Amino acid sequence: MEVGFLGLGIMGKAMAINLLRHGFKVTVWNRTLSKCEELVQNGASVGETPATVVKKCKYTIAMLSDPSAALSVVFDKNGVLEHINGKAYIDMSTVDADTSSKISEAIKAKGGYFLEAPVSGSKKPAEDGQLIILAAGDKALYEEALPAFDVLGKKSFFLGEVGNGAKMKLVVNMIMGSMINAFSEGLTLAERSGLNPGTLLDVLDLGAISNGMFKLKGPTMLQNSYSPAFPLKHQQKDMRLALALGDENAVSMPVAAAANEAFKKARSMGLGDLDFSAVHETLKVPDHSS
Ligand SMILES: NC(=O)C1=CN([C@@H]2O[C@H](COP(=O)(O)OP(=O)(O)OC[C@H]3O[C@@H](n4cnc5c(N)ncnc54)[C@H](OP(=O)(O)O)[C@@H]3O)[C@@H](O)[C@H]2O)C=CC1
Ligand SMILES: O=CCCC(=O)O
């Protein structure tokens, strides 16, 4: 199976390498061209623009930072739309349902096929082919894409009409962003009240709220180490988009709103490119209010 791959950031690079390792022929494109070099060393070809990749490949996957990047790669000059007639486009970026629907409508109007397929799971699951794929849109395309999804992920869900994958992803990340803030507050409270936060990690791990994220991020947060697996700026984008979904549906989300403020504060402190667990640093800023 020959696939195109647009966007070689933390996730896209790992996913494209995985496809190559499993025998897929992959043609890559990235806005910053130098990031294609490592993929070429792994056997990929390079396309000069999104349009040339789509022209060459029957299926093209995208993994881009946010709604504005996802729209630009499709609609701009030399973008996906130029050669989409008869071709398939699978956008795995985390965006909102409106963005996904705009892309879907434009692609279908030009005679192409569209599936949204955002993922749960971060850098390591991407490297290991252990993502959770949240697909929606063209069911026939979903079935054709399963050989690729089986390499990229441990489980794929088909969620119905375009937008449902985006919404599911935003709900999951809204929960995750709220949880990391509660966790960070707990670590800080333990430390400031004279407890050993390492012992708190052990206690949490034995109880009902034990989870993979606390296990993975707890030790590195205690070391103030935030090498990016999931960049904080993307987590804040997901909180913002999830809160907008809450607005549309009149769902009150005070916990998520507070978590979003913490991520915004972290971004204002210049931490946007670090891992999302760097939100922990916001609690270290002295509070002069008392
Ligand atoms: N990291 C993670 O753990 C996870 C991330 N996601 C989601 O996956 C997507 C990618 O995340 P991740 O790989 O971490 O992000 P990165 O920031 O590492 O990569 C972003 C990619 O988008 C490209 N890009 C950004 N703006 C534009 C633009 N205007 N035009 C074209 N290309 C653009 C970047 O190109 P360039 O190299 O030129 O900057 C890069 O290839 C995001 O939507 C994120 O929310 C989903 C699950 C987990
Ligand atoms: O969008 C990023 C999600 C990260 C994760 O699921 O661990």
Query: pLDDT, tens digit, for every residue of 30-40?
Result: 999 999 999 99
Contact by Cβ (8 Å): 124, 15: no
Structure tokens at 233: 């700026």
59-81 burial: b if 16+ Cβ within 10 Å, else e: bbbbbbbbbebbbebbeeeebbb
H or E element, residue 115:
strand 113-116
Say how many Å lie between the CA of residue 94 and the centre of ligand 1. 9
Pair (14, 106) in one structural domain = yes
The confidence score (pLDDT) of residue 289 equals 54
Residue 228, ligand 1, Cβ within 6 A: no
The band of 1, judged by pLDDT with boundaries at 50, 70 and 90, is: confident
The ligand minimizing its distance to the Cα of 177 is: 2
- What CATH number is given to the structural domain containing 54? 3.40.50.720
Of 286 and 17, the structure prediction assigns the larger pLDDT to 17
Q: What three-state secondary structure class fits 268?
A: helix
The confidence score (pLDDT) of residue 278 equals 98
Atom 6 in ligand 2: which residue has the minimum CA distance? 121
- Asked if the model's pLDDT at residue 285 lies above 80, the reply is no
The confidence score (pLDDT) of residue 235 equals 99
Pair (176, 71) in one structural domain = no
For the beta carbon of residue 17, count every other beta carbon within 10 angstroms.
22
CA 44 to chain centre: 23
Pair (107, 195) in one structural domain = no
CA atoms within 13 A on the CB side of 262: 26
Tell me the sheet residues that pair with 231.
275
Separation between Cα atoms, residue 144 and residue 147, nearest integer Å: 7
58-87: pLDDT as tens digits:
999 999 999 999 999 999 999 999 999 999
Residue 289 lies in a domain: no
Ligand 1 atom closest to 118 (CA): 46
Residue 272, ligand 1, Cβ within 6 A: no
88-138: pLDDT as tens digits:
999 999 999 999 999 999 999 999 999 999 999 999 999 999 999 999 999
- Asked if the model's pLDDT at residue 157 lies above 80, the reply is yes
187-229: pLDDT as tens digits:
999 999 999 999 999 999 999 999 999 999 999 999 999 999 9
CB contact set of 105 (below 8 Å; sequence gap of 6+) = none
The confidence score (pLDDT) of residue 116 equals 98
Atom 27 in ligand 1: which residue has the minimum CA distance? 69
CA atoms within 13 A on the CB side of 200: 20
Pair (148, 42) in one structural domain = yes
Of 211 and 289, the structure prediction assigns the larger pLDDT to 211
- Asked if the model's pLDDT at residue 290 lies above 60, the reply is no
Domain hosting residue 230, numbered range: 167-283
Average pLDDT rounded to a whole number, residues 166-177: 98
226-283: pLDDT as tens digits:
999 999 999 999 999 999 999 999 999 999 999 999 999 999 999 999 999 999 999 9
Give me the helix-helix angle, 232-248 and 164-192, nearest 10°: 120
Pair (202, 145) in one structural domain = no
Say how many Å lie between the CA of residue 222 and the centre of ligand 1. 27
Pair (102, 181) in one structural domain = no
Separation between Cα atoms, residue 250 and residue 227, nearest integer Å: 36
Ligand 2 site, CB within 6 A: 94, 120-122, 173, 230
Say how many Å lie between the CA of residue 234 and the centre of ligand 1. 8
Separation between Cα atoms, residue 85 and residue 246, nearest integer Å: 35
